[in-house]
Structure 1
Amino acid sequence: MPRSHKIVYTLYIVVWVIMAINPKYREDWLLENILVFIVFPLVVWMDHKHRYTLTSIIFLLIFASLHSLGSHFTYAEMEYFDTITQFFGFERNHFDRVVHFLFGLLVFRILFEMTTAGITHIKKALFFVFILIIAVSALYEILEWLAMIVFHPELGIAFMGTQGDIWDGHKDTVAAMIGASVNLFFYKSYKKLFRSKV
Structure 2
Amino acid sequence: MTSKYFPHVLAVTYFIFSIALGINPVARDVWVAEIIPVIVIFLIFVLTFNKFRFSNLAYALVSIWIFWHTIGGHYTFANVPFGWVTEMLGAERNHFDRIGHFTIGFYAFAMAEWLLRKGYCGFKLAMTFSLFFIMSVAAAYEIIEWWYAALEGGDAGVEFLGSQGDIWDAQKDMLSDTLGAITSLLLFYFYRTDKKRDIS
When normalised by structure 2's length, the TM-score is 0.88
> Do the aligned residues in 1 keep the contact of 2:108 with 2:130 (CA within 8 Å)?
yes
Partners of 1:137 and 1:62 lie apart in 2 by 17
Which residue, out of 36, 46, 49, partners 1:47?
49
Deviation of the 1:45 alpha carbon: 1.1
Q: Which residue of 2 aligns with 1:137?
A: 138
**Which AA in structure 2 matches 1:86?**
E
1:72-120 CA distance string (max 9 Å, x none): 11111111x111112322111111111111211x322222233453433
How many residues are matched?
191
Aligned to 1:90, what secondary structure does the other structure show? Answer: coil
Specify every segment of 5 or more residues in structure 1 that has no aligned partner in the other structure, as ranges: none
> Kindly tell me: are residues 195 and 88 of structure 1, through their superposed partners in 2, closer, same or farther at Cα, counting changes over 3 Å?
closer
| Matches of 1:118 and 1:140, distance apart in 2 | 29
1:149 is displaced (CA, Å) by: 2.5
Residues 1:120 and 2:121 are matched in the alignment: yes
1:163 aligns with 2:155: no
Q: Which 10-residue stretch deviates more, 95-104 or 30-39? A: 30-39
Q: Which residue of 1 aligns with 2:61?
A: 59
SS of structure 2 residue aligned to 1:49: coil
Q: In the aligned structure 1, how far is the partner of 2:120 from the partner of 2:190?
A: 17
1:91 aligns with 2:92: yes
SS at match of 2:14: helix
Code of the residue aligned with 1:85 in structure 2: it is: T
Deviation at 1:50, TM superposition (A): 0.9
Q: Secondary structure at the match of 1:156?
A: helix
Residue 17 of structure 2 corresponds to which residue in structure 1?
15
Specify the code of the residue in structure 2 equivalent to 1:128.
Answer: F
1:196: Cα distance to partner? Answer: 4.9
1:27 pairs, out of 21, 26, 29, with 29
Q: CA deviation at 1:34?
A: 1.5
Higher helix content, 1 or 2: 1
* Gapped regions of structure 2 (runs ≥ 5): none
Q: Is residue 194 of structure 1 aligned with residue 194 of structure 2?
A: yes
Moved more, 175-184 or 67-76: 175-184
1:70·1:78 contact (CA, 8 Å) conserved in 2? yes
Give the % identical residues.
31
8 Å contact from structure 1 (residues 122, 194) kept in 2: no
Q: How far apart, CA to CA, are the structure 1 residues paired with 2:79 and 2:99?
A: 14
Equivalent AA in structure 2 for residue 194 of structure 1: D
